[in-house]
């Protein structure tokens, strides 16, 4: 058993956990269905709580150490502006409409951007766990909303003649 060798946990313990996990059923609480599949653990805290529910006492540090040992790596989530589904579709259409433009067409365009600088420190670092060969997923990124309190917004633009 590869899991047994990798984690150092006996194969009997792993088989028992697998059997117990199959018997775990979430009670129906009504409302919107849960987005996450059962057993999908995204943070070391999730993994720690899951193992505690199975009767294991384990620290977050030990969970992180085991995750690294079996091929996961942690990283800091990247930030990107929130873009609604409707605006994503509009942006894609805009891009596709411009595929036939010439250099002269692009010379009439002004590209602008803005950034938020926090006055009272950073918004905080958020970490994630993923396997090295796993692709980037939406939950590896923090969505942000503009115009938060205690910050300054800066705007700039660039044209074919230079910055503005």
Do 118 and 50 share a structural domain?
Answer: no
Cα 72 from Cα 76, distance rounded (Å): 14
Do 64 and 82 share a structural domain?
Answer: no
- How many structural domains does the chain have? 2
Q: Write out pLDDT tens, residues 32-87.
A: 654 444 455 667 777 778 778 888 888 888 888 888 888 888 888 887 888 999 99
> 7 lies in a domain?
yes
- DSSP of 14-54: HHHHHHHHHH--PPP--SSPPSSPTT---SHHHHHHHHHHT
Do 92 and 156 share a structural domain?
Answer: yes
> 25 lies in a domain?
no
Question: At residue 95, does pLDDT exceed 80?
Answer: yes
> 24 lies in a domain?
no
Distances (CA, A) of 142 to 98, 125, 126, 135, 148: 30, 10, 8, 16, 15
Do 82 and 155 share a structural domain?
Answer: yes
> 82 lies in a domain?
yes
Do 101 and 56 share a structural domain?
Answer: no
Cα 70 from Cα 61, distance rounded (Å): 15
Do 154 and 121 share a structural domain?
Answer: yes
Do 66 and 132 share a structural domain?
Answer: no
Do 65 and 99 share a structural domain?
Answer: no
Query: Band of the pLDDT at 100, cuts 50, 70, 90?
Result: very high
Query: Which run of H or of E encompasses 55?
Result: none
Burial of 44 (0-12, 13-18, 19+ CB in 10 A): buried
158: domain range?
78-163
Do 111 and 51 share a structural domain?
Answer: no
Write down the pTM of the prediction: 0.38
Do 115 and 50 share a structural domain?
Answer: no
Do 138 and 103 share a structural domain?
Answer: yes
Do 107 and 66 share a structural domain?
Answer: no
Indicate the angle between helix axes 60-69 and 44-53, nearest 10 degrees.
Answer: 110
For residue 63, what pLDDT is reported?
81
């Amino acid at each position: 058993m590869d899991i047994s060798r990798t984690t150092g946990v006996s194969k009997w313990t792993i088989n028992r956990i697998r059997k117990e996990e199959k018997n775990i059923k979430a009670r129906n609480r009504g409302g919107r269905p849960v987005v996450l599949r059962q057993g999908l653990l995204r943070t070391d805290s999730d993994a720690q709580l899951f193992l505690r529910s199975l009767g294991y006492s384990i620290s977050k540090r030990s969970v992180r150490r085991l995750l690294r040992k079996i091929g996961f790596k942690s990283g800091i989530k990247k930030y990107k502006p929130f873009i609604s589904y409707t605006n994503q579709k509009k942006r894609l259409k805009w891009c596709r409409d411009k595929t036939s433009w010439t250099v002269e067409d692009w010379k009439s365009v002004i590209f602008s951007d803005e950034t938020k600088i926090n006055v009272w420190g950073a918004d905080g670092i958020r970490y994630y766990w993923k396997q090295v060969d796993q692709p980037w997923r939406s939950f590896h990124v923090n969505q942000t909303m503009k115009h938060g309190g205690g910050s300054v917004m800066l705007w700039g633009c660039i044209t074919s003649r230079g910055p503005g």
